[in-house]
Copies of this chain bind each other. A is one copy, B any other.
Amino acid sequence: MNFEFQNPTRIIFGAGNLARLGDVVGEYGKKALVVTGGGSVKRSGVFDRAVESLKAAGIAVAECSGVEPNPRITSVARGAETVRAEGCDVIVALGGGSVMDASKVISAAALYDGDPWDMILHGQENVYVPTEALPVITVPTIAATGSETNCGAVITNEETKVKSFIQIPLLYPKVAVMDPELTVSVPRDQTAYGVCDLITHLTESYLNGIDNTPIQDRLAEGVIQTAMEWGPRAIADGGDVEARAQIQWAASVALIGWAQIGTDAPYPVHMMEHTVSAYHDITHAAGLAIINPAWMRFAARSNTAKYVQFAERVFGLKAKGADDLDCALEGIDKFEAFLKSIGCPTRFSELGIGDELFETYARDTLKIVSDGKGNLPGRPVMSVEDMIGIFRSAL
Indicate with 1 or 0, residue by residue over A221-264, a CB within 8 angstroms of chain B CB atoms: 11101100110000000000010011001100100001000100
Nearest B residue to A7 via CB reads B7
Contact segment of A11-19, A47-55, A115-123, A278-286: A11-19
Q: Check: A301 CB closer than 8 A to any chain B CB.
A: no
**What are the residues of chain B within 8 A of A5 when measuring CB–CB?**
10-11, 13
CB distance from A28 to the nearest CB of B (A): 14
Contact segment of A57-65, A82-90, A212-220, A351-359: A212-220
Among B14, B212, B215, B230, contact of A223 (Cβ-Cβ < 8 Å): B215
Query: A11 to B4, Cβ gap below 8 A?
Result: yes
**What are the residues of chain B within 8 A of A258 when measuring CB–CB?**
258
CB distance from A223 to the nearest CB of B (A): 6
**What are the residues of chain B within 8 A of A219 when measuring CB–CB?**
218-219, 222
Nearest B residue to A17 via CB reads B2
Query: A3 to B10, Cβ gap below 8 A?
Result: no
- Distance, CA A230 to CA B217, complexed state (A): 14
Q: Check: A6 CB closer than 8 A to any chain B CB.
A: yes
Among B1, B7, B218, B253, contact of A221 (Cβ-Cβ < 8 Å): B218
Indicate with 1 or 0, residue by residue over A1-39, a CB within 8 angstroms of chain B CB atoms: 111111111111111000000000000000000000000
Query: A215 to B245, Cβ gap below 8 A?
Result: no
Query: A2 to B13, Cβ gap below 8 A?
Result: yes
Query: A246 to B214, Cβ gap below 8 A?
Result: yes
- Distance, CA A175 to CA B221, complexed state (A): 29
CB distance from A369 to the nearest CB of B (A): 25
**What are the residues of chain B within 8 A of A222 when measuring CB–CB?**
214-215, 217-219, 221-222
**What are the residues of chain B within 8 A of A215 when measuring CB–CB?**
222-223, 226, 246, 249-250, 253
Size band of the interface chain A makes with B = 35 or more
Query: B1 to A249, Cβ gap below 8 A?
Result: yes
Among B3, B12, B214, contact of A230 (Cβ-Cβ < 8 Å): B214
Query: B212 to A242, Cβ gap below 8 A?
Result: yes
Nearest B residue to A11 via CB reads B5
**What are the residues of chain B within 8 A of A229 when measuring CB–CB?**
214
- Distance, CA A258 to CA B8, complexed state (A): 13
Query: A8 to B11, Cβ gap below 8 A?
Result: no
- Distance, CA A125 to CA B15, complexed state (A): 33
- Distance, CA A226 to CA B217, complexed state (A): 10
Nearest B residue to A248 via CB reads B1
Among B4, B214, B225, B246, contact of A212 (Cβ-Cβ < 8 Å): B246
Nearest B residue to A2 via CB reads B14
**What are the residues of chain B within 8 A of A214 when measuring CB–CB?**
222, 225-226, 229-230, 246
Task: Tell me which of A212, A217, A218, A250 has the highest count of chain B C-beta atoms within 10 A of its own C-beta.
Answer: A218
**What are the residues of chain B within 8 A of A225 when measuring CB–CB?**
214, 218
Nearest B residue to A217 via CB reads B222
- Distance, CA A230 to CA B214, complexed state (A): 10
Query: A3 to B13, Cβ gap below 8 A?
Result: yes
Query: A12 to B8, Cβ gap below 8 A?
Result: no
CB distance from A260 to the nearest CB of B (A): 13
**What are the residues of chain B within 8 A of A253 when measuring CB–CB?**
215
CB distance from A158 to the nearest CB of B (A): 37
Nearest B residue to A256 via CB reads B258
**What are the residues of chain B within 8 A of A3 when measuring CB–CB?**
11, 13-14
Query: A4 to B10, Cβ gap below 8 A?
Result: yes
5 shortest interchain CB distances as A-B pairs: A218-B222, A2-B14, A6-B10, A5-B11, A214-B226
A-B contact pairs, 12 of them (CB 8 A): A1-B13, A1-B249, A2-B13, A5-B13, A6-B11, A8-B8, A215-B253, A218-B218, A218-B219, A218-B225, A219-B222, A221-B222
